Each structure stands twice: as structure tokens, then as C-alpha cells.
Amino acid sequence: MVRTIPTVSVPDSVAFNLGHILPYYLRGIFTKNEFWISFWNKVHRDPLAVNFIRRIRQKYKSDYFYIYLLRTKSLVVLDPDGIRHVLDHSPLPYAADPDLKRRGMSHFQPNALTISRGAEWKDRRHFNEAVLASGQRIHPYAIHFHRAIEQGIESLTANLGQYLVWDHFDHLFKRITLEIIFGHEARDDTALADRLTALMRESNRVFLLGKSKEFDLFYARIRQHLRAAGNGSLASMCKHAPSTGVTKVENQIPHWMFATMETLATNTMRALALIVSHPDAEYRVRQEFQQYDPRTPEKIDRLNYLEGCIQEAMRLWPTTPMLTRQTTRDDVLGGNTIPSGTQVVILNGFNHRDWETNPHAGTFRPEFWLEKRSDYRFNHLSNGTQVCAGKSLALFIAKAVIATLLLRGRYVLRKPRLNSRRPLPFQCDDFATCFEYFRTFHAP
């Protein structure tokens, strides 16, 4: 017999909002807030609610439960089959644009793919897939992207002192992002990147968002870059990719920008931190370089163990801690009818670290990914129809950056102190992360 989905008690909902949704909101939904991230990392060991959700599951004896997220009654889905069903049926009937996400994202990228539905989503997805070469492991312009990465790292390491910290990754990835998206000449247009960050900082507020004074300036510059797109850039592909009146090309670009310059920068730095704090992993990564000298896109693509390290960093510390959906019609989940208009939540932060269903949840195990590139239990890059359209590109860039850095030196993680024999902490404090850099290897 199918059990009705329980609704958690008011005190449990309040505890969840105060203990987990409030910190999640303050840390920055769209762009990172350094003050609050550092604050919560000091005072809150489990902001991803791993222990809290485990207790809720035990108490209500269910892998589905309704809980309030602020004022919205939301269905949390922990059941792996349910998660697969939701992700395989996005964006219809599981639309990826619940109210808060649409409001926040529309502030800086109205018409973006991720907040589109129906025919508009199909049209924009088609365009994004063509430019990002989603179906291919190696992007047709990978050679240009690789050159941008090598030059960026050459300039970084030439001026690097004893320590490598978040600001270096931030700077490096801004430069790489601008070059990959708009071309070589655009690589120093940090004003454009800063303008997007300013818009996203405003979006973090989610409420009371009027049109920003940055908006028109930001898009005017995007249009200029599209007109002057450099050879071998994503912008230069936009002209040839299938687009129609509904595609809204300029509105697709901010997603590529923030996903590369902030999300990917964060994940790449964390992956490097995990590699150098796990001697066996670093050994295997360097062994892989012996087999596939990572100086060409084809060889970089072959670095499967390194790719596993990056996927593990994303699994352990998912930069998208939750995926939200809203049903556009009634649907059935776990044998229960879910009414149209229900907000559905997939808690990556919990699912990825649930040691009751996965005893290795807190351990860095890159080999898990050697045989596969996806697993519906782990949705840091999402899965199903609305899987990250930049997945292959993101993995390629991260591998190229880490390989190029490791070829140029040795890194010792000074902060945070990660112990390879103990479960990893639930959070990684990016702003406090610090590597000591030793230029002991011969530069290429």
C-alpha cells in the first residue's frame, strides 16, 4: 500500500529554515557572499543539513516529505527513482523556474535557458548545445581554449609568490572565461565580469528587485563583444548556431560567464585541494600524465582519473546544493499524486553526503567515476533532459587548468587542513583556502 506523503511539523519546518535555508540564502544564492560564507563556515559545521535531513527521514519514515521553504510548501524527494523521474521530465512537467529562481535570474539574464519552458526551452537548448558542443567530449575550439588556459597560467605562475589563494583562481578564471567566450582581445575586460557580479549580487536579495543601473551597460557591452567576436571563441560560433527570434542569444551568455568564472573556478580549486591532500590521488594523477602528456586537447580529454577527481570535488561540495522544480501539471511520484504548481526540491547537499545509503559518502574516491560520467544520485551537474549543457566543456577546462598547474609545480595545502583518513568536512571555505607553491618541476 502506498503511504501518503507526510508533511513535517511546524517546528521542524522552522528549524530547517532557520538552521539551513537562512544560511543558504545569506551565503549567496546566485553569487558567493564572502562575509557570510566565512561566517557560516566558522559557526555551522553542517550547513547542507546532512544530519538534519537524516533525522527527518527517520522521524517521518519516508523518502518524500513536504516541508516549508520560507513560505512555499515544497516536496523534498530523497528517493533515487523519484529523483530520476523528476530530472528525466524537466522542464515539463518539472519546470526549473520556480518563483524565486526566476525572479533572481531574470534580474541579470531574462530568457536564460535554465528558466525557460516548453518551446522556448527547446529552442534555447538547441542553440546552447550547438555553441557549447554539449554532445562532444572535445569542443571544436578546444585548441584555442587550451591556449588561453596555458597563457593564463603562465602569467599567473610567473608572478606567483609563495602562496596560491582564491584571488589567484578568481583572476585566472575571469581571464580564461572572457577569452573562451569572446576571444583573445576580450581577456582583460574585467569590467564586464565585474558588472555581471554586481548584477548577481543584487539578485542574491531575490526580493524587491527593480531594473539595475548596470543592466543596459552590461548588455551593450555583450552586444559589442558579439559583433567583434574573436576567432575560436564561443561568441564566434553564435553566428552559425541555430537561432530564431525566441533564442535571445545575448541573454544566454551570462550563464556561460558566471558558470565558468565563478562556479568552475570554485570547483577546480577544490579539486586541486583534494588531489594534493590525498597523496595516492596525486600520485595517480601524475602517473596519468606519464601516459597522456597533457599538452594537447586530445590528451587532456584522456585524463579520466583527473576527471574523477573533479567530479568527486563537485560531489563532496556541490556548488548547486539544491535543484528546484515546479510542476506544471499533476504528476505521480512514489505512487502519490503531486498537484500542479508544487515546488519540488532535490537536496544535493544531503544526497551526496548521506552515509546511511552510501558508507563512502564522506570519502574522496575518484575511481568511482572511472566507469561512468554520471549517476542520478549525484546531481552537481544535474542529470536527465536538463543536464548542464556545459558539462563536457567544464570538465575539459578544469582538467586543462589542473594539469597545467601541476606540470608547473608542487602544491601543499596549508588551509583547510584535510585529513585523507577522515571523512571530509561538509563545507570547503574557498576564501580561506591556501596552497604553498613550490616551483620545483621544470616548466614546460
Give the chain's end-to-end CA distance (angstroms, integer): 65
The yes or no reply on residue 193 touching ligand HEM (CB under 6 A) is no
User: How far is residue 189's CA from residue 295's CA, in Å, rounded to a whole number?
Assistant: 27
CA-CA distance, 161 to 157, in Å (whole number)?
8
Among 74, 260, 327, 404, binds ligand HEM (CB under 6 A): 260
Rounded-to-integer distance, Cα 380 and Cα 243, Å: 28
Give the SS3 label for residue 55: helix
**Nearest alpha-carbon partner for 78 in 391, 443, 350, 385:** 350
Residue among 8 and 303 whose Cβ is closer to ligand HEM: 303
The dihedral over CA atoms of 262, 265, 269, 274, expressed in degrees to the nearest 10, equals: 90
Q: Is 322 in the site for ligand HEM (CB under 6 A)?
A: no
CA–CA separation, 30 vs 229, rounded Å?
27
Site map 143..182 versus ligand HEM, x via CB under 6 A = ----------------------------------------
CB of 323 to ligand HEM, least distance (A): 5
CA distance 117 to 173: 31
For residue 95, give the 3-state DSSP assignment: strand
- φ, ψ of residue 212 in degrees (nearest 5): -80, 150
Between residues 95 and 406, which has the closer beta carbon with respect to ligand HEM? 95
Sole binder of ligand HEM in the list 261, 394, 405, 407 (CB under 6 A): 394
Closest CB 87 distance from ligand HEM, rounded Å: 8
Of 183-191, 241-249, 349-357, 378-386: span binding ligand HEM (CB under 6 A): 378-386
Contact residue for ligand HEM among 157, 203, 267, 433 (CB under 6 A)? 267
Q: What share of the chain is helix, strand, coil (3-state, %, to 5)?
A: 55, 10, 35
Please select the residue that binds ligand HEM; options are 314, 347, 403, 424, rule is CB under 6 A.
314
Between 160 and 241, name the residue whose CB sits nearer to ligand HEM. 241
User: Could you say whether residue 327 binds ligand HEM (CB under 6 A)?
Assistant: no
If binding is defined by CB under 6 A, does position 323 make contact with ligand HEM?
yes
Separation CA 23–CA 42 (nearest Å): 12
* Region of 14-22, 141-149, 279-287, 376-384 interacting with ligand HEM (CB under 6 A): 376-384
The phi and psi torsions of 345 (rounded to 5 degrees) equal -125, 135
- The secondary structure of 125-144 as a DSSP string is HHHHHHHHTTT-SS-TTHHH
Beta bridge partners of 164: 435
Q: Does 5 bind ligand HEM (CB under 6 A)?
A: no
DSSP-derived secondary structure letter, 115: G
Q: Indicate whether 204 belongs to the interface with ligand HEM (CB under 6 A).
A: no
Q: Is position 319 an interface residue for ligand HEM (rule: CB under 6 A)?
A: yes
Give the x/- contact pattern for ligand HEM in 107-126, rule: CB under 6 A: ------xx----------x-
> Quick one: which of 393, 403, 405, 424 contacts ligand HEM (CB under 6 A)?
393
* Binding residues for ligand HEM (CB under 6 A): 96, 113-114, 125, 128, 132, 255-256, 259-260, 263-264, 267, 314, 319-320, 323, 380-382, 386, 388-390, 393-394
